Chains A and B, each alone.
Chain A
């Protein structure tokens, strides 16, 4: 569990990136921080591994104030995945993944062997192990980034717009992979994005920011879609329009869900069939969605 207690971050130039921010990030869940640029979400993420130190307030991980933890050691215990993967261009894929374990004193040979296992975990072919990052596609690089983040088997995984720079098809694939990984690995994931669709798809908990690290609303995707706290949130999630403003129509005696333009989005079935209320990913909610996400298992276990 990560807890922010009235955290404020004021940069030397006077800008306040985060103002009196409090939040509990539950363990073994995906918490998504979402907002437009300048909203302070990345600053908040970077405060968890002390890449940024708060001006005031405290941050605790499992009850320990991280201000008392030496930053380098803290960072080595927390997985970090960033946009464009942030791989070391002069190291091979396996060495990139093995970087942190080697820093922590694991023998290079063992770390590389473990790196190969991690490549399996994130769906990378082992034949890529001796390639350099520049020889991989954007999606593959991002998988290497995730593997590196998992290399020390951390409890916490920080992801800073990790899928922001890959094309939409690859992004959708990586998002599905992340959900699959999370089901297997049960990490505490803190995920930053500006894409509300991504937030609704991935988040167990979503925190929506206005500017300056002010929270507009925090809650589950269902709560936010069901009751946007204010007009800003409503506009941000697009609850008032398009594919999220869904209506129920009777068709041959069955309730069919249609979007604001009348296109069919799915059918309504009783809840025990395991379909959640989320239509955020825009896929037909009939359970046969291509590459269907593991919604039933997740929702059953999460709340």
Chain B
């Protein structure tokens, strides 16, 4: 059975693009969920990662916590929280944030780690305060990798939010679970294609941002270096995870 043609027919059908359950609405929901998740994740993980990188303390704890979070079975945790907290937006949100934290944290402290110790030492030696070192030296230089962490977290979150439709919730996962219930494979496959397109678009966007935040002085130096790694690759390699 080849479902591809029917999947694209499903995607092309104007009926599926209209109304409260239409594709634009679902895509909007999916993006909103993702955005909220990333926002909360960034608020938690980036300051933590920066603090760990700046002080050099708590790295062990961060690595362990990341490991634990990564090992959590998403669907199991989702069901557990749904039983505990009731059905709604909160349980999947907690699960997705937990999923997003490790790459965000890893990106933040890998970024801080990548800043030359000598540069930091020099900044302190000439009389910068700790905060000035953080905001004027470490953060600008770490930003590409911090964004890289968000990028990798974003991919995972977009992909995994589909699972949340297991509970009665919107997003593109809705089509997948609804399609499964009535064995409408065209709908399931069409929705999967939408998720993939969304993920690729988001990834591309972050790739662009990541390029833009590389300080010009660093780029200038890179052009004289041996070009073994492109800015994009070097930025995304460290915090990469088991992205979905």
Q: Measuring CB to CB, which residues of chain A are less than 8 angstroms from any residue of chain B?
A: 46, 49, 51, 72-77, 80, 82-92, 99-100, 103, 131-135, 148
Specify which of B129, B137, B220, B224 lies most central, judged by the most chain A CB atoms within 10 Å of its CB.
B220
Q: B62 on the interface (CB 8 Å rule)? A: no
Q: Which of A72, A85, A133 contacts B129 (CB 8 A)?
A: A72
Partner of A87, one of B121, B122, B216: B122
- Does A75 contact B217, Cβ atoms closer than 8 Å? no
* Residues B111-150 near A (CB distance < 8 A): 116, 118-119, 121-129, 132, 136-137, 140-141
Tally chain B residues at the interface, Cβ within 8 Å: 25
One of A72, A99, A132 near B221 (C-beta < 8 A): A132
Chain B nearest Cβ from A158, distance in angstroms: 8
Of B125, B129, B218, the contact of A90 (CB 8 Å cutoff): B218
Q: Is the CB of B122 within 8 A of A135?
A: no
Q: How far is the CA of A49 from the CA of B222 in the complex (A)?
A: 33
Q: A80-B125, A90-B215, A90-B217 known; A103 and B132 CB under 8 Å?
A: yes
Q: Which residues from chain A contact B129 at a C-beta distance below 8 Å?
A: 72
Interchain CB contact (< 8 A) of A132 among B121, B127, B220: B220
Residue from A86, A89, A131 in contact with B141 in the complex, judged by beta carbons closer than 8 Å: A89
Whether A100 pairs with B221 at a CB distance below 8 angstroms is no
Q: A133 vs B128: C-alpha distance in the bound complex, in angstroms?
A: 19
> A134 touching B216 by the CB < 8 A rule?
no
Question: Which residue from chain A places its CB closest to the CB of B221 in the assembled complex?
Answer: A134
Q: Please determine whether A51 and B220 come into contact, CB atoms closer than 8 angstroms.
A: no
A90 touches B141 (CB 8 A): yes
Would you call B217 and A100 a contact (CB within 8 A)? no
- Which chain A positions have C-beta within 8 A of B118? 82-84, 86
Neighbouring A residues of B216 by C-beta, 8 Å: 90, 132
A89 and B218 contact, CB distance less than 8 A: yes
Could you write out 6 A-B pairs with CB less than 8 Å apart?
Answer: A49-B125, A51-B124, A74-B127, A88-B217, A134-B220, A134-B222
Question: How far is the CB of A82 from the nearest CB of chain B, in Å?
Answer: 6
Whether the pair A148, B126 counts as a contact (CB closer than 8 A) is: yes
Shortest CB distance B90–A (Å): 41
List the B side residues contacting A83 at CB < 8 Å: 118
Docked-complex contact B221 and A135, CB < 8 angstroms = yes
Q: Tell me how far the C-beta of A130 lies from the nearest C-beta in chain B, rounded to whole angstroms.
A: 11
Query: Using Cβ atoms and an 8 Å threshold, which residues of chain B touch A134?
Result: 217-218, 220-222, 224
For the complex, what is the distance from the CA of A80 to the CA of B118, rounded to whole Å? 13
Q: How far is the CB of A92 from chain B (nearest CB, A)?
A: 7
Tell whether, in the assembled complex, residue B224 and residue A75 are in contact, meaning their CB atoms are under 8 Å apart: no
Determine which of B124, B137, B220 lies in contact with A88 in the assembled complex, contact meaning CB atoms within 8 Å. Answer: B137
CB distance from A99 to the nearest CB of B (A): 6
Shortest CB–CB separation between residue A112 and chain B, in angstroms? 16
Expressed in whole angstroms, the Cα–Cα distance for A74 and B126 within the complex equals 9
**Cβ-neighbour of B126 out of A90, A92, A99 (below 8 A):** A99
Find the A residue at minimum CB distance from B140: A90
Asked if residues B127 and A135 are in contact (CB atoms below 8 Å), the reply is no
Q: With A73-B127, A75-B126 known to touch, is A89 a contact of B217 (CB < 8 Å)?
A: yes
Q: Which residue of A lies closest to B128 (CB)?
A: A103
